Structure 1
């Protein structure tokens, strides 16, 4: 379960930002999660609820997860398409010479202080 490791990393980053900005309490943390990141949002939420109870700054805070759709570009025809629906093979020309553009990220987007 790498979700717990991700949560610990996010908490550490938020605590560092909190210290630099003299925050006393955080209400919400916004996270962008790629569709093919391999991170399970339900597990992430469960880990968050457990882990933030151990942080004075984040206790009771909410994790707001925004999904980023996975998009792939075909190097042969230059068109983009939904990765999950079509996989590695381009639905426009049939080429497998493709590259994932987005959808595997896990990014801290915002911190809302109380």
Structure 2
């Protein structure tokens, strides 16, 4: 389960932001998570619930996950389609010349603090 390592990276990034901005407490963190990012949302949440209380500045911080759908583009016909439903083969023309447009993201979108 690499989600614990991902959580440790999130915590490191949050600590850097908190230190640079004199923030003592973060209330909420919003993560954008691509559908094919290889990070499993409920494992990420479980790891967060275990790790966050060990750090005072995020002990009660809410973790919010915004999913990003995986979309693939076909180079032959130019159409886009849902990656999960159809994989690499274009459902419109049968081409294998496709590429992922979105859905592999893992981003800290927003950090909320109290004033």
1:91 maps to which residue? 91
Q: Offset of 1:56 from its aligned partner?
A: 1.4
TM-score (norm 2): 0.97
TM-score (norm 1): 0.97
Q: Offset of 1:38 from its aligned partner?
A: 1.3
2:50 maps to which residue? 50
Runs of 4+ displaced beyond 4 Å: none
> Aligned pair 1:105/2:105, yes or no?
yes
Q: Offset of 1:54 from its aligned partner?
A: 1.1
1:3 maps to which residue? 3
Query: d(CA) in 1 for partners of 2:107 and 2:6?
Result: 10
What is the alpha-carbon root mean square deviation over aligned residues? 0.7
Unaligned runs of 5+ in 1: none
Unaligned runs of 5+ in 2: none
> Aligned pair 1:24/2:19, yes or no?
no
